[in-house]
Amino acid sequence: MSSSPEELHPGNWIPYSERPEWADVTPLPQDDGPSPVVQIAYTDRFKDVYDFFRAVLKSGEKSARVLALTEDALELNPANYTVWHYRREVLKATDADLKAELKYCRDIIEDHPKNYQVWQHRRVLVEWLNDSGSELRFTELILAQDQKNYHAWQHRQWVLATFKLFDNELAFIDRLLTDDIRNNSAWNQRFFVNSRTGGWGKEVVEKEVKFSLEKIQLVKRNESAWNYLRGVLDACTDSECAKEQRELVDSKCRVLLAEGCDSPYLLGFLVELLQWRLEGEKDDAQVAKMVSEAEELCERLANELDVIRARYWTFIQNTISKKYGRSD
């Protein structure tokens, strides 16, 4: 498939094969073998640029003109790992302006915000510069466009951990959760920050359980908040605190249930708490009572509130019954 004149010569574009300053380079065509299974219909411009890129890659040339060539190659395929890698080698060899490269990198990310290669390139640049000055603000702007951009979150976490910039992160997360209390990425970030700073001792766990319960009270069907609460209780490193906080959560959940809340996340959490209580219960009458309650909750989840996972809840019900002596 050949390209149209407009495609081949957009604006002032001149093929490398027609540029006098590149006359000393012999382009290296792509070798797909004698019988390629699927012949890709590259445009003429794509073949021209990548034929010259392969040639300089083979010769090892690192120069300003090669840096410009990689820009053209990345414009055509911004996810090409080899081009990004070689561009970094050229940047080092030519002592290029890394601040300008950060600006170039930002432009690419804004056009291709979920391109892993360009985010990796930016991380390397920040490492070389040893300067994280604009990174938190930059990721904030990208996340404002897409709160679930995994690459932006990953980059932000790396910056926070590498440069020890956690001081204001919980405040940032609070703003995100105020805007969207169901922002699962923000909940995940909150867990990340607490894990990397104060850890999960008594003070932090009590604070985060309180925080979670307050958010659940606002939106009772918010799965993210329930999952965060579960994670906090599981991460607690103080066994006595973990026991106290589970008992507190159990009492709060029962209040919600008594008030008529039918959130499947509430009932599912109560089943988990019953399983936890059953592990340490020695009184047969209490065991029978808790097993019966767990069975009722599982039946309600399977038949009314979480039908899509009915088989899961039936499995949990059977597991509890068999483990604690009720196989009927």
Distance of CA 238 to the CA centre of its chain: 29
| Mean pLDDT over each residue of the chain, to the nearest integer | 94
Average pLDDT over residues 79-87: 97
Q: What is the pLDDT of residues 96-121, one digit of tens each?
A: 999 999 999 999 999 999 999 999 99
- Note the pLDDT tens digit of each residue in 260-307: 999 999 999 999 999 999 998 889 999 999 999 999 999 999 999 999
- Looking at the predicted structure, is the pLDDT value of residue 214 above 60? yes
Q: Which CATH number fits domain 1-96: 3.40.50, 1.20.272, 1.25.40, 1.10.530?
A: 1.25.40
| 139 burial type by CB count under 10 A (0-12 exposed, 13-18 middle, 19+ buried) | buried
- Per-residue pLDDT, 326: 55
Q: Please state, in angstroms and rounded to a whole number, the distance separating the CA atoms of residues 105 and 142.
A: 13
DSSP E strand boundaries for the chain: none
Q: What is the mean pLDDT of residues 6-19?
A: 74
Q: Is the pLDDT of residue 147 over 80?
A: yes
How far from the centroid of its chain's Cα atoms is residue 79's Cα?
18
Per-residue confidence band for 4, with pLDDT thresholds at 50, 70 and 90: very low
Q: CA-to-CA distance for 311 and 309, rounded, in angstroms?
A: 6
User: Which residue in 75, 32, 25, 79 sits closest to 53, CA to CA?
Assistant: 25
Check if 148 is active-site: no
- Sequence spans of domains, the chain: 1-96, 107-115+123-164
Considering 114, 202, 220, 243, which one is annotated as catalytic?
114
User: How much is the pLDDT for 6?
Assistant: 42
Q: What percent of the chain has pLDDT over 90?
A: 90
How many other C-beta atoms lie within 10 A of the C-beta of residue 174? 13
> What is the reported pLDDT for 3?
39
Encoding tokens for residue 44? 């003429």
Q: How many CA atoms lie within 13 A of 233 on its CB side?
A: 22
How much is the average pLDDT of 222-251? 97
pLDDT at position 41: 79
Q: If you write DSSP's letter for every residue of 245-259 in order, what string do you get?
A: HHHHHHHHHHHHHHT
Q: pLDDT grade, residue 322 (50/70/90)?
A: very high
Residue 230 pLDDT greater than 70, yes or no: yes
CA 325 to chain centre: 42
Summarised one tens digit per residue, pLDDT across range 156-205 is: 999 999 999 999 999 999 999 999 999 999 999 999 999 999 899 999 99
Q: Which residues contact 79 (CB under 8 A, 6 or more apart)?
A: 112, 115, 116, 117
